[in-house]
A = this chain, B = another copy of it.
């Protein structure tokens, strides 16, 4: 199997495998830039040596030579080149240029080719490293990874925007989140996480919504309140940021500092800060941006947690704020003035769940499967969810979430 470039030592005879990133035929010499999973290497060939067209996969054997001028710092001389396949067709864009420089639809139509561009590829590497650090941080805190079903029996969990499936002749729905399942599994493992797809039949065509995205879900039991949840979120973010250093540099991403304690403001106070009326039920995007600036100035932090969101705007299972049940023990985490994470404490008593459902005009009998765990003993608990693509989009400041999604799915796009 192919050696990777970083393992090559100058002076040795090496065999490398990869793609023809670029070929340049000059009068006295032919250059081939080889691209493999780790980077680029320049191959020097006698003038007139036939080189397959760009993107053809090849094997190159020659002598490795250090050359600071060469891309990747390695040059291969006295080389022979063997094509591994038939000649590649000309790609829809020139992958060897420093910038891809094509429109978003062109990029998405040719996603499996566009992701080959080094500046695009590193963005997904940020996503992969984030998942790895997310899991490692939680593993170290005694969390158990779970995998919960995407087929659900009813559309009750949040009501709207669910996808309907023909399930052996009867209707089923695709889970909008693992929320109910992760809570039930707190009853087994106390601390759980899941990384997996969630499905939202979002009828809006916006730069930050997808019909399917990857959710990094966490839930834990035996908490005091939502502040314990926020403390775990802080550890997770610190773990993720700590993993991304070298990749962020390559991706041109400006990594945030994660403060030892994430600053928190109450929703009511947040409205005052941004000068919004005290009866405003939610924060508008311009409010979030203003709070981002405020957090930076007052706390020197890229992150700000807004706690106490009005109960009326939160799902039925949200735990109210004990001192004033108009507010909730839930929070949104703003990252540079944009909402990144929603989390909070959930109800843990069966009687509270039943009352909350009835207050919203719902029948607890429709939630029998979910409520079973509460019938037989659940601890105070809470959790949060991070949208993977949204996280990466914010890191690299991608204006559209589709730019950091391998194969985006939305109102109009189902392929490639």
Contacts and interface: CB of A to CB of B under 8 A. Distances in A.
Interface of A: 1-2, 4, 17-20, 36-38, 55-57, 84-86, 88-89, 91, 110, 112-113, 115-116, 121, 124-125, 127-128, 131-132, 135, 139, 142, 144-153, 163-168, 172, 174, 181, 184-185, 187-191, 195-197, 199, 201, 203, 211-212, 214, 220-224, 228, 348-351, 369-370, 372-373, 375-380, 388, 406-409, 411, 414-416
A4 B142 contact: yes
A224 B15 CA distance: 14
A46 to B, nearest CB: 24
Given A55-B376, A88-B377, A131 B145 contact: yes
Given A197-B150, A212-B150, A406-B146, A376 B415 contact: no
A373 B113 contact: yes
A1 B203 CA distance: 40
Contact of A416 (B56, B221, B369, B380): B369
Contacts of A224: 1
Given A112-B373, A373-B112, A379-B57, A349 B128 contact: no
25 contacts: A1-B222, A2-B190, A17-B379, A19-B377, A37-B191, A56-B377, A57-B222, A57-B380, A84-B379, A85-B349, A85-B379, A86-B351, A88-B375, A89-B376, A112-B372, A113-B372, A113-B373, A121-B188, A128-B144, A150-B150, A150-B199, A165-B165, A168-B203, A184-B416, A185-B406
